Amino acid sequence: MSRPLTVMLVAAEASGDDRGAGLAKALKRRLGDGVQFVGVGGERMAAEGVVSPFDISDISILGLFEGLMAYPRIVRRADETASLAAREKPDVAVLIDSWGFTLRVAQRLRRLDPKLPLIKYVGPQVWATRPGRAKTLAASVDHLLSINAFDAPYFEAEGLPVTFVGNSALNIDFSEALPARIRDQLGVNPQDPILLVLPGSRPGEIERVLPAFENAVNLLKDTRPQLQIVIPAAHTVVELVKSRVAGWSNRAHVIEGDEAKHDAMKAATVALACSGTVTTELALAGVPMVIGYRLGKTTYAIARRLIRTKYVTLFNIAAQAFVAPELIQADCTGPKLAQEVALRLDDAQLCSRQASAQFAALDQMGRGGPDPSEVAAEAVLKLVAAWKA
């Protein structure tokens, strides 16, 4: 009996864990018992058969100072990942997002087995900053699966073949989301407005962003006692979020899991969100939002010199406009965030216009296209077949 196709999947944070799980499901739909998985990931990938040798929460890093502090740990985990590949001898490796970690894994896998096909799933945002990363990636992997239609020219110019698969956040199915269900579960009256608070999926984001979000919540609750605060916590940081929110003076409902999150998104009046994949999910659910973000001071000082776009949110980049307001760094304060949220809580027409503009931007990003996980699975299998030929 022939050995099943062995696919190594490597992800280091929540969004990558989601993509890895989606890709594993799609490959199993095609191959059944003819595929098996090894690699690194979180609980979603574990549910699909990827048994990670370590918890990815300690390598979910963003920021220069955090990166420097975590560097020995990142190197150690990259070495462990390469050792896993040496033992399991995969037929192909798919390295998902998380530039710093997956680049180090790619370099180790290349040295370990120069013939092992390496696929990067989600490229670095070279159109926004550090264009030299395109050349670095081209020297490290064999193929890129991109989530943005505008990625290809940057990487193909360096000789790296690119397949556009689309953004999996654009294909979330909200058809079974029930706003009344989450209100019933939380004991929230049908007429009460809901502010959804999403402080990020990395520990560093919780540390930097959540205090400003808490301040905004307190200011809003002072004048709106009926406002209900709901926090869908990413599984990578749920315990950290719970411990922080437990000390808030105003009650907030921390919820877990996709069903509850999707119900809450459909029930929300407005959202206050950390910049990231979740902003695309919120836009898809039709939620008007205010976006806040903070980097470490040193990281931000460097980033200001490198970033070539004035937008940080993908649908704002697609629209080339501030469809949703972005309050970044010094502007990410409780009073400023509260002011922008209050405008939307008090103006249903503004909310409607923003939700419509968000939908239009999502259309520019490819909303309504084929399932990215299915496209990615098809691409992986075609690439493996071509490399074997």
Same domain membership, residue 298 and residue 351: yes
Q: How many domains does the chain have?
A: 2
Residue 57 lies in a domain: yes
pTM over 0.75: yes
The answer to whether 97 and 10 are in contact (CB under 8 A) is no
The answer to whether 270 and 195 are in contact (CB under 8 A) is yes
Residue 172 lies in a domain: no
Same domain membership, residue 374 and residue 293: no
For residues 316 and 306, give the distance between their C-alpha atoms in angstroms, rounded to a whole number: 19
Same domain membership, residue 261 and residue 384: no
Same domain membership, residue 249 and residue 155: no
Residue 224 lies in a domain: yes
Structure confidence at residue 66 (pLDDT):
60
Structure tokens at 282: 């919120």
Residue 184 lies in a domain: yes
Same domain membership, residue 212 and residue 155: no
Structure confidence at residue 93 (pLDDT):
98
Which phi and psi angles does 162 have, rounded to 5°?
-130, 135
Structure confidence at residue 299 (pLDDT):
59
CATH of the domain at 316: 3.40.50.2000
- Which residue in the block uniquely carries the two structure tokens 């296209």? 369
CA distances from 252 to 196, 230, 274, 290, 383 (A): 10, 6, 17, 18, 47
Structure confidence at residue 7 (pLDDT):
98
Give the relative orientation of helices 179-186 and 258-267 as an angle to the nearest 10 degrees. Answer: 100
Same domain membership, residue 311 and residue 250: yes
Same domain membership, residue 244 and residue 343: yes
For residues 27 and 277, give the distance between their C-alpha atoms in angstroms, rounded to a whole number: 23
Residue 173 lies in a domain: no
Structure tokens at 227: 């406002």
Q: Show pLDDT as tens, one digit a residue, over the chain (389 residues).
A: 578 999 999 999 888 999 999 999 999 999 999 999 999 999 999 999 999 999 888 776 555 546 566 678 889 999 999 999 999 999 999 999 988 899 999 999 999 999 999 999 999 988 767 788 999 999 999 999 999 888 899 999 999 999 999 988 898 999 999 999 999 999 999 999 999 999 998 888 899 999 999 999 999 999 999 999 999 998 889 999 999 999 999 999 999 999 999 999 999 999 999 988 899 999 999 999 999 998 766 655 555 655 666 888 989 988 989 999 999 989 999 999 999 999 999 999 999 999 999 999 999 888 888 999 999 999 999 999 999 87
Taking the alpha carbons at both ends of the chain, their separation in whole angstroms is: 21
Same domain membership, residue 17 and residue 123: yes
Structure confidence at residue 126 (pLDDT):
85
Residue 222 lies in a domain: yes
List, in sequence order, the alpha helices (H) in the chain. Answer: 14-31, 43-47, 64-88, 99-112, 132-138, 152-156, 179-186, 203-223, 238-245, 258-267, 277-285, 297-306, 314-319, 334-345, 348-365, 372-388
Same domain membership, residue 216 and residue 148: no
Structure confidence at residue 189 (pLDDT):
94
For residues 364 and 387, give the distance between their C-alpha atoms in angstroms, rounded to a whole number: 34
The radius of gyration of the chain's CA atoms, rounded to the nearest angstrom, is 21
Structural domain that includes position 229: 179-365
Structure confidence at residue 15 (pLDDT):
86
Helix (H, G, I), strand (E, B) or coil at 91: coil
Structure tokens at 313: 């949110």
- Which residue in the block uniquely carries the two structure tokens 């696919």? 7
Same domain membership, residue 293 and residue 246: yes
Residue 273, strand partner residues: 198, 291
Same domain membership, residue 237 and residue 141: no
Residue 171 lies in a domain: no
Same domain membership, residue 314 and residue 279: yes
**Burial class of residue 159, CB neighbours in 10 A (0-12, 13-18, 19+):** exposed
